[in-house]
Amino acid sequence: MNQDTKYWIVDKIVDDPSAYPQGYQFIREAAELLQKNELVAFPTETVYGLGGNALADETVEKIYEAKGRPSDNPLILHISNCKQLEPLVAEIPPLAKSLMEAFWPGPLTLVFPKKPGIAHRASAGLDTLAIRMPAHPVALALIEAAGLPVAAPSANLSGRPSPTTAQHVREDLNGRIAGILDGGATGIGVESTVVDITGNIPVILRPGGITAEQVAGIAGDVEMDPGLVNEAVAPKSPGMKYRHYAPKGEMWLIEGDTVDNMAETITRLADKARADGKKVGIMATEESAERYPAEHTVLACGKRTDLLTVAHHLYDVLRQFDERHVDLILAETFPEKGVGVAVMNRLGKAAGGKRYIC
C-alpha cells in the first residue's frame, strides 16, 4: 500500500468560516475523493477521523486495511444533518431524539437498529449502526459536500494513540490514504461517548466527551456496559474490544489514595528502572510535574483540577513519549468521575490493564 497522500491546510475555517473560501475548495476536492471511494482523514472536535464511504463495502475494507484494524470491530458513521439518518436506521426512538436535540452536533454516538442491508461491513455484520454528527466545521462541510454518510474510525494505525493533530495522522498513515485535511489541533481530545439506545434504558458502551451524568440528565436512567468494568465480558463498542491507544514503551498506571503516595511510588519505581538501564517517562499533571527527578522524562498532560485538559492532551503526550524513545511509562491516575471515566478508560487500554497499587 503506497499512494500519494494529498495534504490540505484548512485550519482557518475553524476560526472564521467565511474568511477562507480557498479552504472550501480544498474540502470539495477531499469530498470528491470520498465519492470515488478513496479515504480522507479529517478533524472532528474529538480526534481526527479516517473517512470513507460508509455505504460501499469495498471502501470500508480499505479503512480496515489502512489502519490494520480487526474486521470484526464496527465503525462509527458520521452525518452532517438529520436527513441523512433516516435512510440508515429502522427507527428513531423518542429517547434518541431527545439526546440528539441535546448533544448533536457533538461528541455523542448513538447506536440505532439499522435498516436491513445497509452498511454491512461498516457495522461488522451487526444489526445496529453507531452514528454521530460531529461538531466541527471542517467535518460537517466535508460530509455535506460528499453527500453521503462517512464511516470514520480514528485516523491512526490500529492500537496506536489516537491522533489529535494532522501531523499525528501523517506519522501513521502517510502513503496509505488519499488525503489529509489539516484543521489544526482537535478540541476535546478523547473520542465520542457511545450510547446504545435500542433498549428501554440507555447503555454507555464507551465513555467519552459526553459524561454519564449528562446523558442521565436527559434520559433519567443510564447504565454502563458490563464490558467496561469486567474484563471477562467483551465490550460492544468500537475501540473497546482490543488493546488501543498504546504507546511503544511499556506502560503502568500507578494508583494511590493521594497524589503524594503516587508521586513517591512513581519516583521509587522510576529510579529503580533507570538503575536497570531503562529510559523512563512519567505522565504527571501541571500540579505534580516538579515533584519528579529531572533525569526522567516528565510530561504534564493537563491539570488535575480540570480533567478536560487531561483529556485534551492525553494522546499527544503518549506520542511524545514515543518520540523520546522511552522504555517505560509510569502514569498518575485520576478520579473516575465525569470526563475522568473516559480518561481512565483510555489510560487503562493504553497500559494494557497494567496497574500498580500504592
CATH number at residue 27: 3.90.870.10
Predicted local distance difference test score (pLDDT) of residue 244: 65
**Whole-structure pTM value:** 0.93
For residues 103 and 184, membership in a common domain is answered with: yes
Give 290-358 as a DSSP string.
Answer: GGS-TTSEEEE-SBTTBHHHHHHHHHHHHHHHHHTT-SEEEEE----STTHHHHHHHHHHHTTT-EEE-
For residues 53 and 100, membership in a common domain is answered with: yes
Evaluate whether residue 66 is within a structural domain: yes
* Final residue belonging to a domain, choices 200, 229, 258: 229
User: Do 41 and 181 meet the contact criterion of CB atoms below 8 Å apart?
Assistant: yes
Predicted local distance difference test score (pLDDT) of residue 15: 76
Evaluate whether residue 238 is within a structural domain: no
CA dist 300 and 287 (Å) reads 9
User: Do 340 and 210 meet the contact criterion of CB atoms below 8 Å apart?
Assistant: no
For residues 150 and 13, membership in a common domain is answered with: yes
CATH number at residue 303: 3.40.50.11030
Predicted local distance difference test score (pLDDT) of residue 240: 54
* Final residue belonging to a domain, choices 169, 200, 229: 229
User: Do 33 and 40 meet the contact criterion of CB atoms below 8 Å apart?
Assistant: yes
Half-sphere exposure of residue 88, counting CA atoms within 13 Å on the CB side? 27
Residue 190 has what DSSP assignment? S
User: What nine digits make up the cell of 122?
Assistant: 461498516
For residues 182 and 265, membership in a common domain is answered with: no
3-state secondary structure of 188: coil
For residues 208 and 302, membership in a common domain is answered with: no
For residues 289 and 344, membership in a common domain is answered with: yes
Predicted local distance difference test score (pLDDT) of residue 161: 93
Predicted local distance difference test score (pLDDT) of residue 129: 95
User: Do 321 and 284 meet the contact criterion of CB atoms below 8 Å apart?
Assistant: no
Predicted local distance difference test score (pLDDT) of residue 233: 53
For residues 64 and 155, membership in a common domain is answered with: yes
Q: Which residue has the cell 504507546?
A: 247
User: Do 54 and 60 meet the contact criterion of CB atoms below 8 Å apart?
Assistant: yes
Evaluate whether residue 28 is within a structural domain: yes
Q: What's the domain range around 272?
A: 250-357
Predicted local distance difference test score (pLDDT) of residue 236: 55
For residues 175 and 267, membership in a common domain is answered with: no
Number of domains within the chain? 2
Predicted local distance difference test score (pLDDT) of residue 24: 87
Q: Please confirm whether the linkage preceding 105 is cis (ω < 30° from 0).
A: yes
Predicted local distance difference test score (pLDDT) of residue 6: 97
Residues of the chain with pLDDT under 50: 235
Evaluate whether residue 245 is within a structural domain: no
